[in-house]
Amino acid sequence: MTGFPLSRETRRLVLDQPFLLESGVSLPGLEIAWRSWGRLAPAGDNAVVVCHALTGSADADNWWAPLFGPGRVLDPQRDFIVCSNVLGGCYGSTGPTSPAPDGRPWGGRFPALTVRDQVRAQIALADALGIRRIALVLGGSMGGLQALEWALLDPERVDAVATIAASGRHSAWCAVWSEAQRQALATDPKYRDGHYDPADPPHAGLAAARAMAMVSYRSPASLASRFGRASGAEAFGDRAHSPGELAARGWLRHHGKALVERFDAHTYRMLIDAMDSHDLARGRGDYETVLRGIRQPVLVGSIASDALYVPADQFELVRLIPRAELLTIDSQHGHDGFLIDAANFQRTLREFKERHAPRAFPAPARRHALPAVHGRPSARSANACNR
């Protein structure tokens, strides 16, 4: 893997058999970077799977810290919590920055992915770890799309699902935001449809795409409360900005600069493409019938100020999924409220889990160490696998 360092706690699952994608293309092998907290119970039935958002990593305890801890929905003293970097990502899992069979990074040659492909890779990880029951699959934004796919792809193993700020299929509204970001990438002459030198990536295009995304992630009230019309130098703390510049401009540029230092441009493109492919009914039949066939209880988190995955997306899920419950999240921060205000809905998530996954309570009296992974799949430390 090139470029982006992993946390020391990250492990790697290696599958050396072909992995068939929905497109019909097979990857010659698969690597999944993952982290875990807690211990798997002897019966293998105390797992919780966390799915990350677009530019996230397996480090869920960093980006969703308010959900972790004793007595919370993600309790390492009770649960075996697993989060993996998504297939197509750039934090250790197979993706455009990974070596292709010829030894060079896949880059623009990496095949198209779907959210369903990503969840099938997560299922392969669960199989390799010996997980027999999953008390809860939890995710927000892109992770919320994956959580819904888990309900349909692995219904016998998954007890309950919580999907926050997400939808059952990508709307035209989400698709146009994605397309604007693709066009931003394409305008950078270095991008070359993903066929660029990893040492000279298209930073300008990725920064512009990120700026567009950040606008969709927040709300007018969120930005007004933070910036108003204060000057950039005074409010943003960067003397490089002229005194008359709006602080929000500096904030937007800051986020673009921060992303290009930690993320790959073509990976970004592949993941937004996968999100646009999201449709729970694809290949399964009528959309309403498919949603009415979801058997698990599903907690659907909706943020009133979300201008990307708008509340109507979640209301539709609640109307169609038989055992759906609506969680209304009071946040002025728009789509990003699923991260910024996580502490405000942690208790509701925990109570939902307690009601619908009773086998996870109380904690087993005895735990065993993480199982060794035998045969072709193998789990090993990230430090041993860095290239």
pLDDT value at 379 more than 90: no
Contact 376/15 with Cβ under 8 angstroms? Answer: yes
Contact 264/201 with Cβ under 8 angstroms? Answer: yes
Q: What's the pLDDT score for residue 102?
A: 96
Q: Is 306 a catalytic residue?
A: yes
In angstroms, what is the C-alpha Rg of the chain? 21
pLDDT value at 149 more than 60: yes
Please write the tens of the pLDDT for every residue from 306-316: 999 999 999 99
Q: Which of 59, 61, 264, 306 is catalytic?
A: 306
Q: Is 331 a catalytic residue?
A: no
Q: What's the pLDDT score for residue 358?
A: 59
Q: 31: part of which helix (H) or strand (E)?
A: strand 30-37
For the chain, the domains span 11-170+279-385, 175-271
The CATH number of 11-170+279-385 is 3.40.50.1820
Cα-Cα-Cα-Cα torsion 28, 33, 36, 42, nearest 10 degrees, comes to: 20
Q: Which of 36, 98, 141, 305 is catalytic?
A: 141
User: Over the chain, what is the mean pLDDT?
Assistant: 89
Distance from C-alpha of 159 to C-alpha of 135, rounded to nearest angstrom: 5
Q: Is 98 a catalytic residue?
A: no
Kindly indicate the confidence band of residue 5, based on its pLDDT and cuts at 50, 70 and 90.
confident
Q: What's the pLDDT score for residue 265?
A: 98
pLDDT value at 156 more than 80: yes
Distance from C-alpha of 308 to C-alpha of 213, rounded to nearest angstrom: 9
CATH 1.10.1740.110 fits 175-271, yes or no: yes
Check residues 365 and 21 and name the one with the higher pLDDT: 21
Please write the tens of the pLDDT for every residue from 88-115: 999 999 999 999 999 999 999 999 999 9
Return the minimum-mean-pLDDT range out of 42-46, 52-56, 354-358.
354-358
- 130 secondary structure, DSSP code: T
Strand partners, 31: 14
282 is in an annotated binding site: no
* % of the chain residues with pLDDT over 90: 83
Position of tokens 């709006």?
246
Distance from C-alpha of 317 to C-alpha of 322, rounded to nearest angstrom: 9
Cα-Cα-Cα-Cα torsion 87, 92, 95, 100, nearest 10 degrees, comes to: -130
Structure tokens given for 105: 């990074």
Distance from C-alpha of 221 to C-alpha of 334, rounded to nearest angstrom: 9
Please write the tens of the pLDDT for every residue from 247-294: 888 899 999 999 999 999 999 999 999 999 999 999 999 999 999 999
Q: What's the pLDDT score for residue 251?
A: 92
Distance from C-alpha of 337 to C-alpha of 344, rounded to nearest angstrom: 10
Q: What's the pLDDT score for residue 241?
A: 46
Distance from C-alpha of 318 to C-alpha of 325, rounded to nearest angstrom: 6
Please write the tens of the pLDDT for every residue from 350-369: 999 999 975 544 444 344 44
Any residues with CB less than 8 A from the CB of 279 and at least 6 apart, and which? Answer: 168, 169, 170, 287
Kindly indicate the confidence band of residue 224, based on its pLDDT and cuts at 50, 70 and 90.
confident
Any residues with CB less than 8 A from the CB of 246 and at least 6 apart, and which? Answer: 227, 229, 230, 231, 232
pLDDT value at 60 more than 70: yes
Q: Rounded to whole angstroms, what are the CA distances from 206 to 67, 210, 241, 251?
A: 30, 6, 21, 16
286 is in an annotated binding site: no
Contact 228/220 with Cβ under 8 angstroms? Answer: no
Q: What is the mean pLDDT of residues 164-185?
A: 98
Q: Rounded to whole angstroms, what are the CA distances from 257 to 58, 183, 250?
A: 22, 18, 10
Any residues with CB less than 8 A from the CB of 60 and at least 6 apart, and which? Answer: 35, 50, 52, 67, 68, 74, 81, 83
Please write the tens of the pLDDT for every residue from 230-259: 444 444 444 444 333 478 888 999 999 999
The pTM score is 0.89
**Bond preceding residue 362 cis, omega within 30 of 0:** yes
